[in-house]
């Protein structure tokens, strides 16, 4: 599988917006339309107010499609469930930094890497960048949420962009290699602002899977 750097523009359709009754075909459709990664949103009904899917879905997608799987865990005790997502075929696993996630962040990041996956750290819109500072040398990806997590189809929160800019500045200043990912309300318009703030991984659910022309939607997000 190709290896990606932070200077690559990566479009990651979120399968939360796909038709779950034909999930393998939906993932193939996204890959044919130009997806670089697939973004898989795991929600447990506790860390966020929604329940999506778990390791079995990740395993089904892994078994039926050959693409980089970017697994976003919005769950309490991500450390407890981690081995199951590794086993299911995740390539990159992102955990949240907020106290409600109830894990020792540094230990979980180390465990993700020790299991052979890339490690991501996510910040909710209200969480300051300072919370991520102790971990910037230990991550492959920093996810800055551009909506309050839990549901697809929400409006992009432009007020989060200064945090993306500051993270990009720190990444540059310290010569760090982590990807900078935005997630929530990304479409061809909000992708422009996100990319100019420094994001290189653009997660997009509704604007890709529900687009009349998925190829065109992915291309315009990539070229934003």
Which residues of the shown chain bind ligand DX5 in the complex (CB under 6 A)? 14, 16-17, 39, 41, 72, 147, 149-154, 183-186, 203-207
Question: Quick one: which of 93, 100, 94 has its CA closest to 121?
Answer: 94
Report the partner that residue 83 touches, choosing among Zn ion, ligand DX5, none (CB closer than 5 to 8 A by kind): none
Q: Is 75 helix (H, G, I), strand (E, B) or coil?
A: coil
Sheet (strand 37-43) strand order: 10-13, 201-204, 179-183, 141-145, 118-123, 92-96, 68-74, 37-43
16 binds, among ligand DX5, Zn ion, none (CB under 5 to 8 A by kind): ligand DX5
CB of 42 to Zn ion, least distance (A): 9
154 binds, among Zn ion, ligand DX5, none (CB under 5 to 8 A by kind): ligand DX5
What sign does the dihedral 210-212-216-221 (CA atoms) show?
negative
CA dihedral (64, 53, 84, 5) positive or negative? positive
Residues that bind Zn ion (CB under 5 A): 41, 72, 183
Please check whether residue 98 is in contact with residue 127, taking contact to mean a CB–CB distance below 8 angstroms: yes
**Please, what sign has the CA dihedral across residues 81, 51, 209, 12?**
negative
Q: Is 141 exposed, middle or buried (0-12, 13-18, 19+ CB in 10 A)?
A: buried
Ramachandran area for residue 17 (φ above 0: left; ψ -120 to 50: alpha; else beta) = alpha
Of Zn ion, ligand DX5, none, which one sits near residue 163, judging by CB under 5 to 8 A according to partner kind? none
Three-state SS at 129: helix
Q: Which is nearer to ligand DX5, 110 or 200 (CB)?
A: 200
**Binding partner of 52, given ligand DX5, Zn ion, none, CB within 5-8 angstroms per partner class:** none
Round to whole Å and give the CA distance between 108 and 104.
Answer: 6
Q: Which residues are catalytic?
A: 41, 183
CA distance 9 to 89: 23
Shortest reach from residue 64's CB to ligand DX5, in Å: 20
């Amino acid at each position: 599988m190709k290896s990606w750097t932070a200077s690559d523009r990566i479009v990651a359709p979120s399968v939360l917006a796909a038709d779950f009754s034909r999930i393998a075909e939906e993932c193939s459709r996204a890959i044919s339309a130009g997806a670089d990664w697939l973004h898989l949103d795991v929600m447990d009904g506790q860390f966020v107010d929604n329940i999506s899917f778990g390791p079995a879905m990740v395993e089904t997608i892994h078994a039926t499609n050959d693409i980089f799987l970017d697994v976003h865990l919005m769950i309490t005790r991500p450390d407890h469930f981690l081995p199951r997502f590794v086993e299911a075929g995740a390539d990159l696993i992102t955990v949240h930094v907020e106290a409600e996630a109830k894990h020792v962040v540094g230990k979980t990041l180390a465990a993700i890497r020790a299991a052979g996956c890339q490690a991501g750290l996510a910040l909710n819109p209200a969480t300051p960048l300072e919370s991520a500072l102790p971990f910037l040398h230990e991550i492959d990806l920093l996810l800055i949420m551009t909506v309050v997590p839990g549901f697809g189809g929400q409006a992009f929160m432009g007020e989060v962009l200064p945090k993306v800019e500051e993270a990009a500045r720190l990444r540059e200043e310290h010569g760090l290699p982590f990807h900078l990912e935005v997630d929530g309300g990304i479409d061809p318009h909000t992708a422009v602002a996100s990319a100019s703030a420094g994001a290189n991984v653009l997660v997009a659910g509704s604007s890709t899977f529900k687009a009349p022309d998925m190829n065109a939607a992915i291309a315009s997000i990539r070229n934003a």
